[in-house]
Amino acid sequence: MYRTIYLSAASHMFSTEDLNAILSVSRRNNQSDGISGLLLYHEGSILQVLEGDQSRVDACFERIKMDGRHRGLLRLFHGKVDRQAFPNWSMGFAWPNDIKDGADASLKGLEQVVKELPSLSKIDRRSATLIRSFFVSHNDLAAMLVH
Least confident of 9-13, 62-66, 90-94, 139-143: 139-143
- The stretch 77-95 carries a mean pLDDT of 75
The per-residue pLDDT for 139 is 59
The CA–CA distances, whole Å, from 86 to 20, 41, 93 equal 20, 17, 11
* Residue among 143, 137, 90 at smallest CA distance from 114: 143
Cα 114 from chain centre: 12
Least confident of 7-16, 40-49, 94-103, 114-123: 94-103
Contacts of 84 (CB under 8 A, 6+ apart): 1, 36, 51, 52
Predicted TM-score (pTM) of the model is 0.75
More confident residue, 120 or 75: 75
Return d(Cα 30, Cα 90) in angstroms, integer: 6
Residue 104's identity, in one-letter code, is: D
- The stretch 102-112 carries a mean pLDDT of 48
